[in-house]
Amino acid sequence: MQKTGEILAQLEKNKNINIQFSCHNEDFFKSIDALFAKLLAKMDMLYLLDYITTILREIIANAVKANAKRYYFKKIKIDINNPEEYAKGITNFKSKIIGKDTIENELAKTDYLVILSIELANDGIIIIVKNNSSIHPVEFERINLRIKKAKEYNDFTDAYDDIYDETEGAGLGIVLSILLLKNTGIGENSFSILSDKKTTKAKFTIPYELKPKTITTTIKEQILDEVDGLPSFNQNLLELLRLCKNKDTEIKEIVDKIIIDPALTSDILKLANSAGFFMGKKVKHISEAILIIGFSNLYDLLLVSSTRSILEKRYSKFHEIWNHCTKTAEYAKYIAQKFGKEKNAEFAYLGGLLHDLGKLILLATDSKFSNWISDLTKNRKIRSSTVLEEVSIGISHSMIGELMAKKWNFPDYLIEVIKYHHSPLDTNDKYKDFVFPAYLGNMLCQFETGKYNYYYLEETVLEKYKLFSRKDVDDLQKEIIHNSNGKI
């Protein structure tokens, strides 16, 4: 595929562009993602990126699969119009071909093609994915039925019973695409599939003016109630936070308030004696510890330790999430230090530490869906789980975290990190130095679990850190792990 910048220039000049291919791989999808990131940013619609690329991934994969099926039937000489032979062919195709790359390499040598057309029309961006094989009437009927049904679902929870076992099938892709279109405000009726004797076309239009629809589900209501019911920080702590912000504060005022809280006292002493602050002799007194760590670090510590003490008591999944968050924090700190200003490193650390707060509530409210969303994100290679959370529950863990952070009066940069750690391109420029490290740190952390890989990474973030290849990213990850003293 051509460079995305060149494609975009042609598209802007001619108002339309055709991208032709016979099969796809992760590099191809990454280019498509990058192209749409640039296009939607120009249209000021970047918030749609994850939705649009998820839909595109589904319909492109379906188109290639349809061509592969026709090619395979021809190759093994199956009469597509004979129902018995057709049924046998489909079974073979599913067991021998799906998920394997062999047929895709063969497809590249045939006339079977897929064309992705993008047109900048007067009222919106028209997207068509066309492949040059027709749909078998039986399949076409089934697809239309699926589309009709999907349009009736309000959210993913409605569809759950019908499709939960179809994690690999095309049916789920259609339902997912239609629900995503509904949720973004593009509308379910924008999606259509047309077929004649030679071609099949899947089409949808993204209008320039959109009114996003808010989904309200029972789970979402439970989540909002849960956020509402979270305790506030206690009075002593709020007072301490205020004192840390005031440069005229006397150390004694702070000490008096800290010593009445034994857990806090021990956290502060621990921090002052940790590697980062170690002065050569053991610090035993809280006043000395505060002098060593400073008001600004103390403020961060107070915030984290209070958040932690509320959440730890309340949620059984706390340690699992916290473990991931401390690793992300280590990554984020290193990235901020290496590529940015030294003074941002501690902020980046804190961002990493608190980025997934919303997950605790999501997991506590309905783990059946949380697990399912997590599996689907992995199996269908969706760029971010927040997309599925929004269509199925009506609120993502990033949005839940944002609500929690606002409730507890977190500083603005932290709210921004929590809100945009899965969609860093949407963040305001002045917060990029905090959001990007948390985003990349979180992704690198999840490389280990196999949930995400290099192909999911935003090109813009990689460019900012001069990571031009997969090897650059791998090397960076190794370097960070190597220097983490076993913390990652």
Residue ranges binding Fe ion (CB under 5 A): 356, 442
Sign (positive or negative) of CA dihedral 272, 274, 275, 278: positive
For Fe ion, give the closer residue by CB, 344 or 442: 442
If one counts every other C-beta atom within 10 angstroms of the C-beta of residue 108, the result is 12
For Fe ion, give the closer residue by CB, 124 or 441: 441
Q: C-beta of 444: minimal distance to Fe ion in Å?
A: 11
Q: C-beta of 220: minimal distance to Fe ion in Å?
A: 18
Distance CA 444, CA 441 (A): 5
Q: C-beta of 352: minimal distance to Fe ion in Å?
A: 9
For Fe ion, give the closer residue by CB, 322 or 455: 322
Q: C-beta of 358: minimal distance to Fe ion in Å?
A: 8
Q: C-beta of 442: minimal distance to Fe ion in Å?
A: 4
- DSSP state letters, 267-330: HHHHHHTSTTT--SS----HHHHHHHHHHHHHHHHHHHHHHHHHHHHH-TTHHHHHHHHHHHHH
What CA–CA distances, in Å, run from 224 to 230, 234, 358?
Answer: 10, 21, 11
For Fe ion, give the closer residue by CB, 204 or 436: 436
For Fe ion, give the closer residue by CB, 118 or 399: 399
- Give the chain's count of helices (H) and strands (E): 23, 5
For Fe ion, give the closer residue by CB, 33 or 356: 356
CA angle at residue 311 from 307 to 312, to 5 degrees? Answer: 110
Q: C-beta of 408: minimal distance to Fe ion in Å?
A: 18
186: which DSSP letter? S
For Fe ion, give the closer residue by CB, 58 or 356: 356
Classify residue 372 as exposed, middle or buried by CB count within 10 Å of its CB (0-12, 13-18, 19+).
middle
Q: C-beta of 73: minimal distance to Fe ion in Å?
A: 43
Distance of CA 6 to the CA centre of its chain: 27
Classify residue 305 as exposed, middle or buried by CB count within 10 Å of its CB (0-12, 13-18, 19+).
middle
For Fe ion, give the closer residue by CB, 54 or 442: 442
What CA–CA distances, in Å, run from 331 to 167, 324, 336, 431, 461?
Answer: 32, 11, 9, 18, 15
Q: C-beta of 355: minimal distance to Fe ion in Å?
A: 6
